[in-house]
Structure 1
Amino acid sequence: MTPATLRTLARYNAWANQRLYEACSRLPGEAISCPRPSFFGSILATLNHVLIGDMLWMGRFTGDESHGIKGLDQILHADFGRLVQARQDMDARIVTFFEAPLGDLEAVFAYRTAAGQDTATPRGLTMLHMFNHATHHRGQVHDMLSATDVPPPALDLVYFLRE
């Protein structure tokens, strides 16, 4: 794990979110929040969960955990326009954070889980997990989009690297 890899993943993360949100913006009416067979139950709920995960991880990395998250399934933004703005703000925050010195990526990183359990993992791998988590749930949204008339966008890392 290198700082350069994490910086690339931060930029990829923002790129993939922008593409996915653009596709979701083309959904008609209430299609973004209608119930769908998925872990979080809708596209909107899944996008909110990804934002929650990023807020939790960034709070842990920066030491500012004043995010007000009450649960992993919390709907922070029921309005898609507000969710888009929050996502863009978070992506800018993530890119800026990862452009700065990241410290010892091999060091043990201690934190408390959302369930309240104290745990520790290597700092760099924990950062990698944040990006992996987002990729996992973007894939779920991608699948839900496949059941609509809006074609899901290509989100593979290699497409980002080619641009």
Structure 2
Amino acid sequence: MNGVAYFKRMAGYNHWANGHLYAACAILPADALYEPRTAFFPSIMRTLNHLLVADRLWLSRLLGAPEVMPLDTILFDAFGDLRVAREAQDEAIIAYLDGLTEDVLTSDLTYQSVSAGAYTMPRDLILGHMFNHQTHHRGQLSSMLLEAGGKPLEIDLVYYARDLL
């Protein structure tokens, strides 16, 4: 499997895992989404917003039209609006990867960090970070969901692969 095919797979997994995550959040009492939790972004809604912010920042850089916003920006206060925006973002990531070539994937990207200076990094490393970042915070959200009375999430990559078979 080449690099582009790998990241297309990761985009599909990301979309699938986010769908399961949002479905689990949707069955919680609404106030549980906003209650303080032990995490870097201290509520389910704040963490979900952070994930959307980070993906918008990274994808905008990859597309050459960088957005600028703090990492703790609250894009949507209402869960339903955030869920629609998350779905659209996942589709935008998939669309970006559908047009990606191996030459572009192996090239460098220079971007301006939100909290520091300018950096130049390989695009494949940026994409790897983007998907790893999602997984990192979905792990935190899984714990927050359990704390809120939700059920455990089964969103490991192997479960996604099994769904495809």
The answer, yes or no, to whether TM exceeds 0.5 is: yes
Please give the TM-score of this superposition, normalised by the length of structure 2: 0.93
Indicate if the aligned counterparts of 1:105 and 1:124 stay in contact, CA closer than 8 A: yes
State the aligned residue count.
Answer: 161
| Deviation of the 1:91 alpha carbon | 0.6
Q: Does 1:34 align with 2:35?
A: yes
Deviations 1:80-137 (A, max 9, x none): 0000000010011011111112333332221111114101111111111110111111
Aligned-pair identity in percent equals: 40
Please give the TM-score of this superposition, normalised by the length of structure 1: 0.94
Equivalent in the alignment of 1:130: 130
Listed as ranges, the matches of 1:118-157 within 5 Å are: 118-157=118-157
Q: How large is the RMSD of aligned CA atoms in angstroms?
A: 1.3
Equivalent in the alignment of 1:82: 81
Higher helix share: 2
What is the rounded CA distance, in whole Å, between the counterparts of 1:82 and 1:105 in structure 2? 32
Equivalent in the alignment of 2:91: 92
What is the rounded CA distance, in whole Å, between the counterparts of 1:64 and 1:8 in structure 2? 24
Indicate if the aligned counterparts of 1:49 and 1:74 stay in contact, CA closer than 8 A: yes
Which residue identity does 2:15 align to in structure 1?
A
Which residue identity does 2:4 align to in structure 1?
P
Indicate if the aligned counterparts of 1:20 and 1:152 stay in contact, CA closer than 8 A: no
3-state SS, counterpart of residue 119 of structure 1: strand
What is the rounded CA distance, in whole Å, between the counterparts of 2:108 and 2:92 in structure 1? 23
Equivalent in the alignment of 1:53: 54
3-state SS, counterpart of residue 35 of structure 1: coil
Task: Compare 3-12 and 150-159 and name the one that shifted more.
Answer: 150-159
Task: Compare 108-117 and 40-49 and name the one that shifted more.
Answer: 108-117
Indicate if the aligned counterparts of 1:142 and 1:152 stay in contact, CA closer than 8 A: yes
| Deviation of the 1:64 alpha carbon | 1.8
Equivalent in the alignment of 2:72: 73
What is the rounded CA distance, in whole Å, between the counterparts of 2:46 and 2:79 in structure 1? 10
Q: Could you tell me which runs of 5 or more consecutive residues in structure 2 were left unpaired when the two chains were aligned.
A: none
What is the rounded CA distance, in whole Å, between the counterparts of 2:69 and 2:17 in structure 1? 26
Q: Could you tell me which runs of 5 or more consecutive residues in structure 1 were left unpaired when the two chains were aligned.
A: none
